[in-house]
Amino acid sequence: MTSNDAVLIQKSKQGDVHSFELLISKYQVYAYNIAWRMLGNEEDAKDATQETLIKVFKGLDKFKENSEFSTWLYTITVNTCRDQLRKRKKVMTLSVDDTEEKVSIQLVAEESADPAVRLEQKEVAGQLLSALGKIPEFQKTAVLLRDVYGFSYEEIGAIENCSVGTVKSRISRGRHGLRSIILNERSNKIQEGGTI
């Protein structure tokens, strides 16, 4: 943690809003983006980020000075989003069955049959977002943090409260799943095209 952060944290603990705003200025965009990718829409992302930052402000006393402030902030971000997703799921299971989820898991499990089939940049760029929405949540978060926002394995481990080994396996399974989904999407399209 930078010494500058330490000073700002000290002041924020005393209720200095301005110092707190300075403190989070570097991190809030990332927090918002993580929330956006995890929750999938701007409105929820905004609410979750606000909630996160308020929680951080209220909970500063609980923050341990020897740990990294940014990591702590992102941990709260991820957990807040996860709470949101859990609530959403509850509402979902009341109304709809989770067929969509089953389908996506199936897709991930399926090995892409033909090894000669390769990804094409155009389709990756176009389908990355929807593919991200189809891999399991923990893998998705790990891939987001590592490949989209450039966090280190150690940081992700601290955020997710798990070992580096777990982080690495989530990332590789996540990437693997993304590739399979995008490839599957293509073969589906080809099949549809064939029947017409």
Which residues contribute to the site for other proteins (CB under 8 A)?
14-17, 20-21, 28-30, 32-33, 36, 42, 46, 49-50, 53-54, 57-58, 111, 115-116, 118-119, 121, 124-125, 128, 143, 147-148, 150, 152-153, 168-169, 171-172, 175-176, 178-179
CB of 38 to other proteins, least distance (A): 13
List Cα–Cα distances, 137 to 32, 39, 67, 86, 98, in angstroms: 17, 10, 26, 11, 14
69-95 and 42-58 are packed helices; what angle lies between their axes, rounded to 10 degrees?
Answer: 130
For residue 102, give both structure tokens: 């089953």
CB of 102 to other proteins, least distance (A): 24
CB of 172 to other proteins, least distance (A): 4
Give whichever of 86 and 165 is closer to other proteins, judged by the CB atom.
Answer: 165
C-alpha closest to that of 145 among 167, 169, 166, 119: 167
Give whichever of 102 and 163 is closer to other proteins, judged by the CB atom.
Answer: 163
Please name the amino acid found at residue 125: A
Query: Which pairs from 119-126 meet CB under 8 Å and 24+ separation?
Result: 119/179, 119/182, 119/183, 123/182, 123/185, 123/186, 124/182
Give whichever of 150 and 194 is closer to other proteins, judged by the CB atom.
Answer: 150
Give whichever of 53 and 159 is closer to other proteins, judged by the CB atom.
Answer: 53
Give whichever of 59 and 102 is closer to other proteins, judged by the CB atom.
Answer: 59
CB of 6 to other proteins, least distance (A): 17
CB of 42 to other proteins, least distance (A): 6
